Amino acid sequence: MNTRQVIDESAGPYSLSATFNNGNSCFAVGLDSGFCVFNANPCELKVSRDFNAGIGIAVMLGQSNYLAIVGGGRQPKFPQNKLVIWDDAKQKAVITLEFRTSVLGVRLSKSRIVVALLNSIHTFAFSTPPKKLSVFETTDNPLGLACLGQKLLAFPGRSPGQLQLVELETGNVSIIPAHSTPLRAMALSPDGEVLATASEAGTLVRIFATSNCTKMGELRRGVDQAVIFSLAISPSNNLLAVTSDKSTLHVFNLPHPRNMPYRGQSSSPSEERLTKKWGVLGKIPLLPRVFSDDYSFASAHFEMGDETQSAPYVPALGTSFGRPMKGVIGWSDDNTILVVSSGRGGRWEKFVIREGEEGRRYCVREGWKRYLGGG
């Protein structure tokens, strides 16, 4: 039975998902009619493939010809329990993996294929034929959350709010009790040393050191509950960007093991005042913790479009759960943040971090584009 919403094809192409590649040099878009690949900065069409059928997930491997694609939308190109590795140079599928339930997320590296299902994570060697390496059970993971680094794989644990961290070389698994409510977003730093997580509450982002699973800090997005869309860490591993359904992009200083003071050594005054929003109030005992939390040093508005349904979005199922992907973040460099949203008016936006008076930093939008045309 097909329960997906009908898409009005007369209004032009509709993007079901958008994902940045490793390094954020490109982003791939799943369409109700196929897929596209764009250069990320500047936003320019690189590849367009029309299947006359929907692709709910399109994930590009670096700058290679390989993409992982999964059917989606009203008329899926493939059954949604099938993952296809597409070689665009040969214009054909070179690897096909089938599962018992829908594929909800995919991560790729040169050596591995990671597939997220609702209650499990499957890893394969990136080879022909692909070799299954491991399977891990998870709590419900409707967003297909997973982070794949060179040495680590992170994904939800068996209980809501829990995190599993796997060393790829040894297979050792660590469990982190990250939140008391289910995970909503996560990001692994480029150097693999820091993991950022947010829950369905959406008020705090927690930062963990992957070497020993200790919590290094908490960053406050706000006081009101919000749906976190995306977390992303800068190439230098020093900054974290966050988007939410408040239509706001926040930028934080990121705690990192190399910058953490040794036991008994206090931070410098300049470090303490970087993001302490409430100044001296944060030092008064017994005041609510909101006064002492670390806040973003800069924020900016990004466009969400008019698709404002409250239901969460599951990429592989197209628009059946109500919301296309919004606010997907990719760092172009340490001062440039790209934000991509899917939907009818698929939009690319570019933000730049600049320094103002007294060393204060700002985040300003420098440009935007409707990547599907029309602006």
Report if residue 317 sits inside a domain.
yes
CATH number of residue 112's parent domain:
2.130.10.10
Joined tokens for residue 165: 């961290």
DSSP at 130? -
Of residues 98 and 282, the one with the higher pLDDT is 98
Residue closest to 339 by CA, chosen among 199, 232, 205: 232
**Torsion angle of alpha carbons 230, 233, 239, 243, nearest 10°?**
-10
- Supply the pLDDT for residue 375: 57
Q: What percent of the chain has pLDDT over 70?
A: 83
Residues contacting residue 167 through CB under 8 Å, at least 6 positions apart: 151, 152, 173
Report if residue 3 sits inside a domain.
no
Report if residue 314 sits inside a domain.
yes
Quick check: 168 and 187 in contact, CB under 8 A? no
Provide the residue range defining the domain that includes 57: 12-370
Taken in order 100, 229, 282, 211, is the CA torsion positive or negative?
A: positive
Residue closest to 186 by CA, chosen among 152, 226, 153, 146: 146
DSSP at 267? P
DSSP at 202? -
User: In the predicted model, is pLDDT for residue 369 greater than 50?
Assistant: yes
- Supply the pLDDT for residue 305: 79
- Supply the pLDDT for residue 344: 86
Report if residue 248 sits inside a domain.
yes
Number of domains in the chain: 1
Q: Give the burial class of 234: count Cβ atoms within 10 A of its Cβ; 0-12 exposed, 13-18 middle, 19 or more buried.
A: buried
pLDDT in tens, 117-167: 999 999 999 999 999 999 999 999 999 999 999 999 999 999 999 999 999
Amino acid identity at 167: E
Report if residue 180 sits inside a domain.
yes
Report if residue 66 sits inside a domain.
yes
Q: Give the burial class of 285: count Cβ atoms within 10 A of its Cβ; 0-12 exposed, 13-18 middle, 19 or more buried.
A: exposed
Report if residue 5 sits inside a domain.
no
The CA distances from residue 19 to 3, 113, 185, in Å, are 25, 16, 14
Using CA atoms, how far apart are residues 255 and 177, in angstroms rounded to an integer?
19
Strand ranges (DSSP E) for 72-203?
82-87, 92-98, 105-108, 112-116, 120-125, 131-137, 147-148, 152-156, 162-167, 173-177, 183-188, 194-199
Q: How confident is the model at residue 261 (pLDDT cuts 50, 70, 90)?
A: low
Joined tokens for residue 131: 């070799």
Using CA atoms, how far apart are residues 228 and 182, in angstroms rounded to an integer?
12
Q: Give the containing element (helix H, strand E) for 270.
A: helix 269-272
User: In the predicted model, is pLDDT for residue 192 greater than 80?
Assistant: yes
User: In the predicted model, is pLDDT for residue 298 greater than 50?
Assistant: yes
Joined tokens for residue 101: 């339930």
Report if residue 375 sits inside a domain.
no
Taken in order 337, 342, 344, 346, is the CA torsion positive or negative?
A: positive
Strand ranges (DSSP E) for 126-221?
131-137, 147-148, 152-156, 162-167, 173-177, 183-188, 194-199, 204-209, 215-220
